[in-house]
Amino acid sequence: MSEKKSAERVDFNELKTGGFIKQNQKDLFTVRLRVPGGRLDVDKMSKIAAVAKKYSKMGYCHLSFRQSVEIIGVHIDDFDAAVKELAAFGQPIASCGPRIRVPTACGGNEYNPNGVMDAQKKALEVDKVLFGTKCPHKFKISFSACPIDCARTRGMDLGFQGVVDPNYEDDPCTGCTLCEKACLEGAIVSDEDGKPVFDREKCVFCGDCIKACPTDAWTPKRKGWAVRAGGKHGRHPRKADNIMLFLPDEKVLDYISKTVEWYNANGERGERIGTTFDRVGVEKYKEEVAGLFGDS
Amino acid sequence: MSENVADEKIDLRGVLCPINFVKTKLKLEMMEDGQVLEIALDDGEPMRNVPRSIKEEGHKVVAVEKVDDGYKIFVKKS
């Protein structure tokens, strides 16, 4: 197909940020929607289903690894119409290429008892403000509400994982030892009276002791986000570096902005931020970015 | 020989999570506010999960006793 002819068939401005992926089948494309944190309003879900039913030549959707719905087998001639119908009820298309991608997140702390921080809310905020920001290569962000880390923050360019710092007061403690039972890390051992002896070095800040304590002898001192950066999967996976602990919730957007500024200044085109760390040293990043936000 | 007094008892040794919690919940639903339920639990997962879930439901663990093959916890319904 000539360029002129194809220009008539699809609006290439729509394609610039991606979300439109070539398939094996001639003239069929995957339309990737933008679903931050993987949370879908049920009304929206049924409207997406209606659009998919109308335009998928293959009769199915796929859930992408970044939690978004992909409509499989959309004909190139139908692309504009499908995008317009999705936009009519506020459903945008996702992105490809060297920019901030749709943030992913676990269920958060609204309904999951393990949740420490509101991962869903943060993913929505980041998507709203920073989605599509240009950088040297793709940039993936995720949020896990607790240290179980279902959102795999160690495999992200930038990952945030909820943490809570436990504080112990002796007075309310009855020596029941439930906190020792609750702690999977061996960070709490009971003495002869059943009172906890806390080893902070072993603590992963999940807050299980706080949740288990029947008398509120354990309470949250502070909550925030553990920050990890430089992770990726793919052909050559790299585990993220631990950058800092207890980044305050309200600093997350600023932290991401400063990180992307740093990445744009230090990263080479086509290089993930983890590769930049390996080249210039993660310490440089820690000093120049994490340093602005205090230490843990 | 227990120093703690219970109005009702339930033995959940050998019962897996979360069935042990569900049985606890159903038992508590049949009791009056302020009454105490004695629950026998295995060490490990049950002791890690059940007391915490009881707290989340708004009841209070008032005592914990180590017994030979597990634990007894005393829960006040509220």
- What is the domain-level CATH number for residue B14? 3.30.110.40
- What is the domain-level CATH number for residue A80? 3.90.480.20
Q: What does the pLDDT read at residue A1?
A: 42
Range of the domain at B27: 8-76
| pTM of the full structure | 0.91
Q: Is B47 on the interface with A (CB under 8 A)?
A: yes
Q: Which of A111, A114, A148, A176 to mutate to test the interface with B (most CBs of B within 10 A)?
A: A176
Q: What does the pLDDT read at residue A11?
A: 57
| H-state helical runs in A3-134 | 3-9, 12-15, 42-55, 79-88, 119-130
Asked whether residue B40 carries a pLDDT value surpassing 70, the answer given is yes
Asked whether residue A63 is assigned to any structural domain, the reply reads yes
Q: Which long-range contacts (CB under 8 A, 24 or more apart) does B64-71 make?
A: B64/A176, B64/A177, B64/A178, B65/B2, B65/B3, B65/B4, B67/B40, B69/B13, B69/B42, B70/B13, B70/B40, B70/B41, B70/B42, B70/B43, B70/B46, B71/B40, B71/B41, B71/B42, B71/B43, B71/B47
B72: its two tokens: 């007894």
Asked if residue A108 and residue A84 are part of one domain, the reply reads no
Range of the domain at A65: 3-88
Asked if residue A230 and residue A109 are part of one domain, the reply reads yes
ipTM: 0.87
Structural domain count of chain A: 2
Asked if residue A25 and residue A73 are part of one domain, the reply reads yes
Measured between CA atoms, how close is B21 to chain A, in angstroms?
14
Asked whether residue B3 is assigned to any structural domain, the reply reads no
**Average pLDDT value for residue range B36-43:** 96
Residues of chain A whose pLDDT is less than 70?
A: 1-17, 295-296
Asked whether residue A190 is assigned to any structural domain, the reply reads no
User: How far, in Å, CA of A117 to CA of A234, rounded?
Assistant: 28
Q: What does the pLDDT read at residue A4?
A: 45
Model confidence band, residue B4 (pLDDT cutoffs 50, 70, 90): confident
Asked whether residue A272 is assigned to any structural domain, the reply reads yes
Of A181, A184, A214, the CB nearest to B55: A214
Asked if residue A148 and residue A27 are part of one domain, the reply reads no
Asked whether residue A98 is assigned to any structural domain, the reply reads no
- What is the domain-level CATH number for residue A140? 3.30.413.10
